[in-house]
Amino acid sequence: MKVVNDLLGYDNLKIVQNPDWFSFSLDSVLLPNFVTLNKDVKNILDLGTGNAPIPMILTTLTETAQIYGIEIQKDVFEMAEESIKMNNLDSRIKLINDDMKKLDQYFEANFFDVIVSNPPYFKLEELSKKNEDEHKTIARHEEKITLSELIKIAKKYLKNNGVFAMVHRSDRLIEIIEEMRLNNIEPKKIQLIYPKKNSNSNMVLIEGKKNGNPGLIIKEPLFIHDETGEYLEEINKIFFRR
């Protein structure tokens, strides 16, 4: 069942969702607020855009950049298209309904200044834990794209010195760094995310630069909830723009 929700805190933006499949999460708000966006950025790509929360948020953080998103699931893509039209963002956001492994049908190599992704977190070996719903399975498990394949795609379509940023599980951080370096994407910025203080990190934001020089910034940790389960003020500032 489709519903229309506010894209929280973002200038009255609306997003079409199906809660039975999945809804956009804090991950999709943190990533566009983490990635480095300078005034010269012209073309941005979101790999696995889902119902397009990241491209819509990126329109509020850039003035002229053209933003593209690719989504393999047709019905999810259609919800994203509906959201884009509802918010009159057709001129800023262009969506593609296809497998990201087929991007060569749409773009030349070295085309994008920035590529972002909130990809599936779980490996195929973890299929015993997967959700029964196909939409959730594809969104959460590496059935259609692996981490290694996704980073290879980012390398191919990034310009020299272009930026790649991703949100992922902290327990895969070493693997992420290894794959990025194998593909000449030098890690430049990391921020660990914690559900609350005195807990282990469960997510990580990481950014790298294609053919960049070594030199890593580890940002201050980001804590999400206080002891009562409420968002901390720093998260409210990001999520609700308070």
pLDDT value of position 231:
81
Yes or no: say if 120 and 151 are a contact pair by the CB < 8 Å rule: no
Alpha carbon separation from 98 to 45, 49, 136 (Å, rounded) = 14, 11, 17
Yes or no: say if 69 and 93 are a contact pair by the CB < 8 Å rule: yes
pLDDT value of position 145:
87
Q: Kindly give the confidence (pLDDT) of every residue in the chain, 242 residues in length, as a single tens digit, with 9 standing for 90 and above.
A: 565 555 655 557 777 766 655 555 688 889 999 999 999 999 999 999 998 999 999 999 999 999 999 999 998 999 999 999 999 999 999 999 999 999 999 999 999 999 999 997 655 555 545 445 454 444 454 456 899 999 999 999 999 999 999 999 999 999 999 999 999 999 999 999 999 999 999 999 999 999 999 999 999 999 998 888 888 888 877 766 54
Ramachandran region of residue 115, left (φ > 0), alpha (ψ -120 to 50) or beta? beta
pLDDT value of position 26:
83
Round to whole Å and give the CA distance between 200 and 156: 34
Question: What is the reported pTM?
Answer: 0.87
SS3 at position 17: strand
